[in-house]
């Protein structure tokens, strides 16, 4: 049995930058354990499988796997999948069934292998818990307690389908020099998957508003994490100085790894409540091939 696959770089327009993604566009008939084995073989942060949608009006059903587990939602597979489906089917909008819910994305073709996609969050980010152990945070991240916090932001757990421990730090220099104690991390960041998204505001960087780094999900550091950025939208919304209105941000991630990612965020509030969140970014197809699964 042979299956085609594509390799993409997501949250970038430049090949060999951004966050790599494998896409298996004809995955009907694969068993769950086969998808997991294929994702482990690619050994990228995520591999996405296209299956026939349950509703005819939808474009595809997505199954998203890390090398170790299936995820109900992930941002860079959603952006990459939307670009692939848009380019292959010449569509400006695609509807993707994910475990977290239906995701509708707008797609713009830039050339035969590059596109930009933007989607509204199928599940709005919500606060899950506070994080009060600043000493533990400092020990895990290799920083001082005084480095924790930025503007009005304080550590908290938020989820837009996948929970993340969100930790603001004082500035981009603190973010750059993080030294994570992975042996201690899971004891301090205790929620599902133990993932921590460290971020700061970047008023001195004209090309973006926020910088971030993500550690966890069995991946070490991840260059571009859309699900974490989606979770961050909830914390950003709580700290906006308006009850009703919209705010847009550009976030950079992966620079410290040499895999720079650019992620756009949008939120809208009505009467103090978050009513809309969106994630956007580019993706470029960098390769294709065939999986040989044997007889």
Q: What is the DSSP string of the chain?
A: -EEEEEEEEES-SSTT-SEEEEEES--TT--HHHHHHHHHHHTSS-EEEEE--SSTTSSEEEEEE-SS-EES--HHHHHHHHHHHHHHHT-SEEEEEETTEEEEEEEEEEETTEEEEEEE-SS--EEEEE---HHHHHHHHTS-GGGB-BTTB--EEEESSSEEEEEEBS-HHHHHT----HHHHHHHS-SGGG-EEEEEE-TT-TT-SEEEEEE-TTSSEES--HHHHHHHHHHHHHT-S-SSEEEEEEEEESGGGT--EEEEEEEEEETTEEEEEEEEEEEEEEEEEEEE---
My answer on whether 77 and 138 are in the same domain is no
pTM of the model: 0.96
My answer on whether 241 and 151 are in the same domain is yes
The residues, any chain, with a CB within 8 Å of residue 122's CB and separated by 6 or more, are: 73, 98, 100, 101, 102, 103, 161
My answer on whether 194 and 239 are in the same domain is yes
- Whether pLDDT at 233 is above 80: yes
User: Using 50, 70 and 90 to split pLDDT, how confident is the model at 217?
Assistant: confident
My answer on whether 247 and 235 are in the same domain is yes
Q: Which domain holds residue 146?
A: 126-281
Query: Mutual orientation of helices 75-89 and 226-238 as an angle, nearest 10°?
Result: 120
Give pLDDT tens digits for 15-65.
999 999 999 999 999 999 999 999 999 999 999 999 999 999 999 999 999
Domain CATH code at residue 176: 3.10.310.10
Tally of domains within the chain = 2
My answer on whether 193 and 276 are in the same domain is yes
Kindly state the average pLDDT of the residues 162-188: 96
My answer on whether 80 and 135 are in the same domain is no
> What's residue 106's pLDDT?
98
Asked if 282 and 13 touch (Cβ cutoff 8 Å), the reply is: yes
My answer on whether 139 and 263 are in the same domain is yes
- 46 noted as active-site residue: yes
My answer on whether 32 and 134 are in the same domain is no
Catalytic residue among 46, 97, 98, 116: 46
My answer on whether 174 and 203 are in the same domain is yes
My answer on whether 79 and 167 are in the same domain is no
User: Using 50, 70 and 90 to split pLDDT, how confident is the model at 219?
Assistant: confident
- Whether pLDDT at 198 is above 80: yes
Express as a percent the part of the chain with pLDDT over 90.
96
Asked if 249 and 240 touch (Cβ cutoff 8 Å), the reply is: no
My answer on whether 133 and 262 are in the same domain is yes
My answer on whether 18 and 54 are in the same domain is yes
> What's residue 51's pLDDT?
98
> What's residue 193's pLDDT?
80
């Amino acid at each position: 049995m042979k299956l085609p696959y594509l390799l993409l770089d997501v949250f970038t327009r430049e090949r060999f930058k951004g966050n790599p993604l494998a896409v298996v566009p004809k995955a009907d008939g694969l068993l769950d354990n086969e998808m997991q084995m294929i994702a482990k073989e690619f050994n990228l942060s995520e591999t996405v499988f296209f299956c026939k949608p349950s509703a005819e009006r939808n474009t595809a059903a997505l199954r998203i796997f890390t090398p170790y587990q299936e995820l109900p939602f992930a941002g860079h597979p959603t952006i990459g999948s939307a670009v692939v489906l848009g380019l292959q089917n010449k569509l400006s909008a695609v509807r993707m069934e994910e475990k977290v819910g239906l995701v509708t994305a707008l797609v713009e073709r830039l050339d035969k292998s590059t596109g930009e996609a933007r989607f509204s969050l199928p599940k709005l980010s919500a606060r899950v818990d506070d994080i009060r152990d600043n000493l533990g945070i400092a020990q895990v991240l290799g920083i001082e307690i005084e480095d924790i916090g930025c503007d009005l932001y304080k550590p908290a757990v938020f989820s837009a389908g996948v929970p993340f421990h969100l930790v603001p730090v004082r500035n981009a220099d603190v973010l750059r020099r993080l030294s994570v104690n992975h042996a201690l991390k899971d004891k301090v960041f205790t929620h599902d998957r133990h993932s921590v998204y460290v971020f700061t505001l970047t008023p001195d960087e004209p090309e973006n508003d926020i910088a971030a780094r993500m550690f966890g999900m069995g991946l070490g550091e991840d260059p571009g994490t859309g699900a974490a950025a989606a979770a961050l939208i909830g914390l950003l919304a709580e700290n906006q100085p308006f009850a009703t209105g919209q705010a847009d941000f550009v976030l950079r991630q992966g620079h410290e790894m040499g895999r720079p990612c650019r992620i756009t965020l949008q939120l809208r509030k009505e009467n103090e409540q978050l009513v809309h969140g969106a994630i956007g970014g580019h993706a470029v197809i960098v390769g294709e091939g065939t999986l040989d699964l044997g007889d």
